[in-house]
Amino acid sequence: MKPDMKRAIFPGSFDPLTMGHLDIIERSTSLFDELVIAVLNNPDKNPMFSPEERCEMIEEVLADFNSGDCRLVVESFSGLLVNYVKSKNATSIIRGIRAVSDYEYERRMALMNKRLAPEIETVFLMASEEYSYVSSRLLKQVFLLDGRVDGLVPKLIVDRLRSKNGG
């Protein structure tokens, strides 16, 4: 990586990737030279998809995604976020804010991360209005109760939700 290159980390569970996540990814590509979508390995959260499955789905979705001059990387991580960010020589953490409920949690995390690693900046992007109510958790709830989630996740993810849950 060239010394003036700006690399950002977009961390999350992505269980699974939603259009809300994709919107944040798309908008971040115009701000950075490289964006690492970092899938948290969080077995305690009892995820529907393994970290490997989540990474693979994101890669597949991003395969036909025009990210312009920004390089997109997908990988999983575990442990303290700032340690991971430092290990990648990244300058920024990207987070999306949907509502006041996100804000309070994100404020605490950003301030703690600032204390742990003052050189790393957290960059907040306001959720786009059309997806501001979408979360992976709500989406999975609706899907498991046979509700329609088309349009809120990429088509490929709808298929993977179906095959994961018995057709």
Ligand X SMILES: Nc1ncnc2c1ncn2[C@@H]1O[C@H](COP(=O)(O)OP(=O)(O)OP(=O)(O)O)[C@@H](O)[C@H]1O
Q: Which residues bind ligand X (CB under 6 A)?
A: 12-15, 18, 20-21, 23-24, 95-96, 98, 102, 127, 131, 134-137
Give the nearer residue to ligand X in terms of CB position, either 4 or 150: 150
Question: Known catalytic residues?
Answer: 21, 45, 98, 136
Give the nearer residue to ligand X in terms of CB position, either 1 or 147: 147
Residue 29 tokens read as: 């590509």
129: helix, strand or coil: helix
Residue 110 tokens read as: 């950003």
The answer to whether residues 58 and 82 touch, using CB atoms and an 8 Å cutoff, is no
The answer to whether residues 97 and 125 touch, using CB atoms and an 8 Å cutoff, is yes
Smallest gap from Cβ 10 to ligand X, in A, equals 7
Residue of closest CB approach to ligand X: 20
Smallest gap from Cβ 39 to ligand X, in A, equals 8
Smallest gap from Cβ 59 to ligand X, in A, equals 16
Nearest of 11, 103, 98 to residue 55 by alpha carbon: 11
Give the nearer residue to ligand X in terms of CB position, either 4 or 101: 101
The answer to whether residues 94 and 121 touch, using CB atoms and an 8 Å cutoff, is no
